[in-house]
């Protein structure tokens, strides 16, 4: 599920729970081998604007915010040690290659001459200067279960499951679109009435609060606008979010869930023939401004640090390889398989995969690519998904994974990441985050993360898509500072060095559904850069050895 889905559903639910259309105690951290933390009080004050933009880097002990202790790691461990440059591939929607906070940290294929239409380095890809684009000029795509029905793929049971999913999701998307449109109309009408009453084209919250409406209709208009100020600082921001919701659900109805739509026509290949590889192009840049996901993910990993602009990425010695393989819809297994192999063959040591889906007709192609990455000592960091589900349940699969839904793992190089929110305690698991004692390894900051956006802009986005790159960034720090550690060792370091909490947490945003934090992932831990670097340093010197049975 796309990150935006959860945001817009949450916004819609919150607004509808209001009047618009009708007229924990402290928790304890378990001591880790590296840092003894006792009782941590809950943060009782709202995050400042600075904290909101940087909360994922905070230190739990010092700030009572469940960040990754990044600045502490830089100050006390990394210091001025630059380490070895690490190539991190971002398999995503493409990224803004000209962004002011990314342009100096891009991977450059030195064997390729730009723009000559030739495969100079003989790697099978033409003009791949900063990575590769497996989507060509396509953008919109179906979700996999709609594709299965359009192409009549799979056995009868798979098709029946796909039909059931489509029959469930299409009416909901259509209803959500209509509700957003209705709400926007109500807000527009109220906004116009307030402007007329005040005699001005722009007004403040204070202006509205001071109004004394004389009619019942005006009372309703004032009530609507007052309610909107609960969700944003200005009515223009509210309208922007509502229009975003309309766009999102319109695209979901017209493309993602439209059984007749075929977005692959623009690419020209057979997406179900793994040997048909002469497609795509060497420009892995986002195609439209709204295709912002890959840019946002890239900034979390390695936006230029301390350059006086925008944000600081997690890792300080990274070159980002952009691989465009995730459309506005579900990715194709073929593209993901080839994207992973491209990254491996061109020097990536870490691959960030902030995508996922519930149907995967050619999953074996991706499993083989994951195993290939393992054979070349490449770590894959994957987002756990944004449905708020227990993905240990066979009814809630999330592809790809590292076990193929068998009893044993197919590789030791993939780490699956759930998302944390900024409020330590019972609400620290993001409402959208998937979880699972078997299928999620760790948690990391992922809710309302501030990062790079196309056209030199910055904004907040949320999802396990944002948690995965935080972990990829910490992995890059480990592999940069201690390059003798393998991908499998890096995964174990990330898991074993995290902070474990005794908190009972709300899951799926439902207060009635709770579990101990220790029981919703393999490790029961949240990733911590400070601890990870301490353990990695010790391990790189030969002590202590990692417990390979510990998850």
Last residue of a domain, one of 214, 244, 261: 261
- pLDDT digit string (tens) for 40-73? 677 778 899 999 999 999 999 899 999 999 999 9
Q: What is the average per-residue pLDDT within 291-314?
A: 97
Please report the pLDDT score of residue 5 as a whole number. 63
Residues 325 and 420 in one domain: yes
Give the SS3 label for residue 58.
coil
Residues 396 and 418 in one domain: yes
- Interstrand relation of 414-420 and 131-133 (parallel, antiparallel or unpaired): unpaired
Q: How confident is the model at residue 29 (pLDDT cuts 50, 70, 90)?
A: very low
Residues 120 and 16 in one domain: no
Q: How confident is the model at residue 315 (pLDDT cuts 50, 70, 90)?
A: very high
| Helix ranges, 42-155 (H) | 49-54, 60-63, 70-73, 144-151
Residues 138 and 153 in one domain: no
Lowest-confidence region among 28-37, 143-152, 190-199: 28-37
Residues 236 and 339 in one domain: no
Burial per residue of 443-482, b for 16 or more beta-carbon CB atoms within 10 angstroms, e otherwise: bbbbbbbbbbbbeeebeebbbbbbbbbbbbbbbbbbbbbb
Residues 464 and 507 in one domain: yes
- pLDDT digit string (tens) for 360-393? 999 999 999 999 999 999 999 999 999 999 999 9
Residues 457 and 345 in one domain: yes
Q: How confident is the model at residue 32 (pLDDT cuts 50, 70, 90)?
A: very low
Residue 414: in which H helix or E strand, if any?
strand 414-420
Is 364 a domain residue? yes
Is 550 a domain residue? no
Residue 131 has pLDDT above 60, yes or no: yes
Q: How confident is the model at residue 16 (pLDDT cuts 50, 70, 90)?
A: low
Q: Which residue has the higher pLDDT, 267 or 551?
A: 267
Residue 36 has pLDDT above 60, yes or no: no
Residue 472 has pLDDT above 60, yes or no: yes
Is 49 a domain residue? yes
Residue 26 has pLDDT above 70, yes or no: no
Please report the pLDDT score of residue 508 as a whole number. 96
Q: How confident is the model at residue 39 (pLDDT cuts 50, 70, 90)?
A: low
Residues 318 and 464 in one domain: yes
Q: What is the CATH number of the domain that holds 353?
A: 3.40.50.200
Is 547 a domain residue? no
> CA angle 352-336-299, nearest 5°?
25
- pLDDT digit string (tens) for 351-360? 999 999 999 9
Is 28 a domain residue? no
Q: How confident is the model at residue 440 (pLDDT cuts 50, 70, 90)?
A: very high
Residue 409 has pLDDT above 90, yes or no: no
Residue 536 has pLDDT above 90, yes or no: yes
Q: How confident is the model at residue 12 (pLDDT cuts 50, 70, 90)?
A: low
| Start-to-end CA span in the chain (Å) | 27
Q: Which domain holds residue 125?
A: 34-142+269-540
Please report the pLDDT score of residue 231 as a whole number. 87
Last residue of a domain, one of 242, 261, 280: 261
What total number of domains does the chain contain?
Answer: 2
For residue 94, give Cα distances in angstroms to 212, 291, 349, 426: 51, 8, 19, 36
Picking from 477, 486, 344, the residue whose alpha carbon sits closest to that of residue 413 is 486
Please report the pLDDT score of residue 402 as a whole number. 82
Is 545 a domain residue? no
At what angle are helices 144-151 and 156-198 packed, to 10 degrees? 130
Last residue of a domain, one of 261, 282, 310: 261
SS3 content of the chain, % helix, strand, coil (to 5): 40, 15, 45
Residues 385 and 505 in one domain: yes
Q: How far apart are CA 82 and CA 85, in angstroms?
A: 8
Is 65 a domain residue? yes
Is 549 a domain residue? no
Residues 502 and 416 in one domain: yes
Q: What is the average per-residue pLDDT within 66-86?
A: 95
Please report the pLDDT score of residue 430 as a whole number. 98
Q: What is the average per-residue pLDDT within 414-441?
A: 96
Residues 326 and 430 in one domain: yes
Please report the pLDDT score of residue 91 as a whole number. 98
Q: How far apart are CA 273 and CA 337, in angstroms?
A: 12
Residue 516 has pLDDT above 90, yes or no: yes
Residues 102 and 117 in one domain: yes
Q: What is the average per-residue pLDDT within 216-224?
A: 95
For residue 521, give Cα distances in angstroms to 415, 430, 433, 535: 11, 14, 12, 21
Q: What is the average per-residue pLDDT within 155-162?
A: 97
């Amino acid at each position: 599920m796309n990150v935006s889905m959860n945001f817009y559903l949450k916004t819609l639910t919150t607004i509808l729970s209001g009047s618009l259309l009708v007229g924990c105690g402290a928790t304890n951290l378990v001591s880790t081998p590296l840092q003894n933390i006792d009782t941590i009080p809950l943060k009782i004050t709202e995050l400042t604007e600075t904290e909101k933009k940087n909360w994922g880097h905070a230190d739990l002990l010092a700030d009572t915010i469940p960040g990754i202790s990044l600045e502490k790691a830089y100050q006390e461990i990394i210091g001025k040690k630059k380490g070895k440059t690490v190539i991190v591939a971002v398999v995503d929607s493409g990224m803004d290659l000209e962004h002011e906070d990314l342009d100096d940290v891009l991977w450059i294929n030195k064997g390729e001459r730009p723009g000559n239409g030739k495969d100079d380095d003989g790697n099978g890809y033409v003009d791949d200067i900063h990575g590769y684009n497996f989507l060509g000029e396509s953008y919109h795509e179906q979700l996999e279960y709609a594709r299965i029905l359009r192409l009549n793929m799979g056995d009868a049971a798979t098709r029946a499951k796909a039909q059931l999913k489509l029959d469930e999701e299409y009416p909901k998307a259509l209803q959500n679109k209509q509700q957003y449109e209705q709400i926007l109309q109500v807000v527009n009408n109220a906004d116009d009435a307030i402007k007329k009453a005040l005699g001005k084209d722009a007004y403040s919250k204070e202006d509205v609060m001071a109004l004394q409406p004389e009619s019942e209709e005006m009372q309703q208009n004032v009530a609507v606008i007052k309610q909107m100020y609960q969700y944003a600082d200005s009515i223009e921001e509210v309208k922007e979010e509502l229009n975003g919701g309309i766009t999102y659900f319109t695209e979901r109805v017209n493309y993602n869930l439209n059984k007749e739509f075929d977005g692959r026509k623009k690419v020209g290949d057979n997406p179900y023939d793994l040997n048909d590889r002469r497609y795509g192009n060497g420009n892995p840049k986002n195609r439209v401004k709204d295709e912002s996901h890959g840019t946002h993910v890239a900034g979390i990993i390695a936006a230029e640090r301390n350059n006086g602009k925008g944000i600081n990425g997690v890792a300080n010695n990274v070159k980002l390889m952009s691989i465009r393989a995730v459309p506005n819809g579900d990715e194709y297994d073929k593209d993901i398989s080839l994207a992973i192999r491209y990254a491996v063959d061109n020097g990536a040591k870490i691959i960030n995969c902030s995508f996922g889906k519930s149907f995967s007709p050619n999953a074996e192609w991706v499993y083989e690519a994951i195993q290939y990455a393992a054979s070349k000592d490449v770590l894959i960091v994957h987002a756990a998904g944004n449905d708020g589900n227990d993905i240990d349940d066979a009814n809630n699969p999330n592809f790809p994974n590292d076990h193929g839904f068998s009893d044993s793992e197919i590789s030791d190089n993939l780490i699956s990441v759930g998302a944390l929110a900024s409020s330590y305690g019972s609400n620290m698991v993001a409402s959208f985050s998937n979880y699972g004692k078997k299928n999620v390894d760790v948690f990391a900051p992922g809710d309302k993360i501030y990062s790079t956006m196309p056209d030199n802009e910055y904004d907040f986005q949320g999802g396990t898509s944002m948690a995965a790159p935080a972990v990829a960034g910490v992995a890059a720090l480990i592999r940069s500072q201690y390059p003798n550690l393998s991908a499998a060792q890096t995964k174990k370091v990330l898991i074993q060095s995290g902070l474990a909490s005794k908190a009972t947490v709300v899951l799926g945003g439902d207060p009635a559904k709770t579990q101990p934090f220790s029981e919703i992932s393999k490790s029961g831990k949240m990733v911590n850069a400070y601890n990870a670097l301490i353990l990695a340093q010790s391990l790189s010197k030969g002590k202590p050895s990692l417990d390979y049975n510990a998850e």
